A and B are shown apart, each in its own frame.
Chain A
Amino acid sequence: MSSVQDTVFDIIARESGIDRAKITPEATLKDLEIQSLDAVQIIFEIEDHFKITMPDRDPNFDTESVKGLVEAVEKLVAANNAPQA
């Protein structure tokens, strides 16, 4: 498990109060019965932790599933760390 995935799982479990063991990369936030207000808080905590801004309704980013969230974070963190042209 990547460290990003580990942290994202931690944040989801903490913010939604669900058992961390239930979280799988394949699950969507909906599958995990995470309400919209909790989902917004999860995204906020992820943004704050990784110092990134998650796009809203961008078809290139999937923020509905756990795997999608992890990939979005990895992509955005990589972009932040890329050497400036």
Chain B
Amino acid sequence: MHRVVITGMGAVTPLGHTAVDTWTAMREGRVAIGPIESLPRADLRYGIAAEVRDFDPLAHFDEKKLIQFDRFTQFALVAAREAIAQSGIDFGADGLGENTAVVVGTGVGGEQTHDEASRRLYADNNPRLHPLTIVRLMANAPSSQICIEHGLHGPAFATSSACASANHALAQAFALVRSGAASAAIVGGSEACLTMGTVRAWEAMRVMADDTCRPFCKQRRGMVLGEGAAMFVLETLESAQRRGAPILAEFAGAGMSADAGDIVFPSEAGAAKAISRALADARLDATDVDYVNAHGTGTPGNDPTETRAIRRVFGAHADALAVSSTKSMHAHALGAAGAIELVATIGALRNGVAPPTMNFIDADPQCDLDYVPNAAREMPIRAALSNSFAFGGLNAVLALRRFI
């Protein structure tokens, strides 16, 4: 069993086109939710989202290659480059690329490609689809393209568990590196789900907010869709120290569970199980944890259930925790959510700053933890958790420790 550390991170999010910019925005409490610009808003029921704006694919890819990449793959590739550059890892050295894993979570895959294909088929009555439709839309496209770009030959695949996809990816990559099955891993999540089809489908569930995302507060009206990607480099502590690599945080453990209950309504017991398992896996006591990056979607169902799950696991220490939902700023990027929130969690550990839950108005008696409302807080953070609880009742929680 190896100790696993994170030596690089990259991100393309509504808050910024790099991990550094994304973290700075979170720390400043900047909210990227606003009227949708990429879709005709007039006939949308709610019409708000957090979009990645001004992203120019041609600034990152040549035209010939770009034709293979759906937007979710573009985000993942750009984020992976940033993470790899920060880590300074050289896949050519000692045959490292031969056994580096790539795991990328996504909730819906190449949805823009899918939407365009459907439009041609059913709206234009054009039965001829683009020959790269499959290559672009397949859920494993980001994993495959990262392998191709960087010459990585280790275990590589996609994970899909709706809103927990990225955390499941991170848990898998962590297990591969910890056990020695892979020497290093490039891992994260990516989503580009702001298509008419996906937005309409979410509208139909009647769980969306029409104003903004206000997790844990009394006036919350539901979730808001986002998009983006975040990617990380994982390697063993030994390899990072040998290379003199920057160590951003120690990846201490992961816990997963299935509610096996309602297909959409979250379960306190299922969430608590994943949190407890993450703590046990990381050999952390509840009292070692100072910050929890909550799933905190802003729906009536999630927020009180997550609050009770945290109370159930942490007992009296729950009142000493800072718990925040950064979805209040970058909204819910579904299969990329856990990865974007890991940028927040790593930022919190490295800088001793709990990012805020923005848009918070009044406390809800059903949500009675310290949610760091409306402004970041400087505080010592020794260890932190990052929660993801998916539709379908699939939960994944990551445990990280500050590395000094």
Contacts and interface: CB of A to CB of B under 8 A. Distances in A.
B382 interface: no
Contact of B221 (A35, A37, A57): A57
A43 B264 CA distance: 17
A81 interface: no
A69 B398 CA distance: 44
Main secondary structure, interface of A, reads helix
B47 to A, nearest CB: 13
A57 B222 CA distance: 12
A56 interface: yes
A52 B221 CA distance: 23
Sorting the interface of chain A by its residue count into under 10, 10 to 19, 20 to 34 or 35 or more gives: under 10
Contacts of A56: 45, 206, 210
A14 B376 CA distance: 50
A40 B205 contact: yes
Contacts of B264: 36-37
Interface string B254-279: 00000000111100000000000000
B204 A44 contact: yes
Contacts, number: 19
Interface pairs A-B: 3 shortest CB-CB: A40-B206, A37-B264, A56-B206
A37 B265 CA distance: 9
Interface string B92-125: 0000000000000000000000000000000000
Given A56-B45, A57-B221, A35 B262 contact: yes
A35 B210 CA distance: 23
Contacts of A57: 210, 221
B172 to A, nearest CB: 30
Interface in A40-83: 40, 43-44, 56-57
Nearest to B45: A56
A47 to B, nearest CB: 10
B262 A40 contact: no
Q: Give the most central of A35, A44, A56, A57: most B CB within 10 Å.
A: A56
Given A56-B45, A57-B221, A36 B204 contact: no
Contacts of B221: 57
Contacts of B45: 56
Contacts of A43: 206
Interface string B294-321: 0000000100000000000000000000
A40 B204 contact: yes
